[in-house]
Structures are given as C-alpha cells and as structure tokens.
C-alpha cells in the first residue's frame, strides 16, 4: 500500500504535466520557484462543483429574502416574526 501511494505521488509530482502550470510538472514548478527570487503565479481554476454549490446557496438566500418581503407586504399589521 505504501509503495502504491509513493508511486502515485512520484508520478503526480515528477511525471504529470499540468495544463494550469503551462505544461510543467509540480516538481518542476517547485524547483523553479526555489531557485528564483521572484515567483511566477499560476491560475487556480475554480471547480465547477463548488461554484455551483455556492451559487445555489446564494439563490436560496435570495429566495428566502423575497419570501420574507412578500410576507411582510401581505401582512403589514404584524410587527415581528411569528406573531
């Protein structure tokens, strides 16, 4: 099991070029950054899954706000929540 994990990490770090790193491996980028005084920034591509999740949260917040406003408009005599 340990050998499999080490092999996977070695492959990912030293042999797997990544598009977001301009075709370089993680190991190459690390080595370059340690040798240079100035560092190169690489973009972090947001995961669609997480973007969709947070968009849903915002949508639910907006919907809840609209429901509260609508309830207040329909019942102007009530002065508090749950009254």
Give the confidence band of 82 by pLDDT, cuts at 50, 70, 90: low
Query: Is there a contact between 30 and 18 (Cβ–Cβ < 8 Å)?
Result: no
**60: pLDDT confidence band, cut at 50, 70 and 90?**
very high
CA distance 20 to 43: 7
CA atoms of 57 and 65, how far apart (whole Å): 12
Interatomic CA distance for residues 34 and 45, integer angstroms: 23
Question: Mind listing the pLDDT tens digit for each residue in 5-58?
Answer: 999 999 999 999 998 898 999 999 999 999 988 878 888 888 999 999 999 999
pTM attached to this predicted model: 0.50
CA distance 83 to 81: 6
Cα–Cα distance measured from residue 65 to residue 52, given in angstroms and rounded to the nearest whole number: 20
């Amino acid at each position: 099991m340990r050998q499999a994990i080490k092999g996977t990490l070695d492959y990912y770090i030293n042999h797997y070029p990544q598009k977001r790193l301009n075709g370089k491996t993680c190991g190459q980028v690390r080595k370059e950054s340690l040798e240079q005084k100035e560092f190169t920034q690489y973009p972090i591509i947001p995961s669609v899954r997480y973007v969709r999740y947070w968009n849903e949260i915002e949508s639910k917040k907006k919907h809840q706000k609209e429901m509260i406003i609508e309830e207040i408009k329909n019942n102007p005599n009530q002065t508090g929540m749950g009254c």
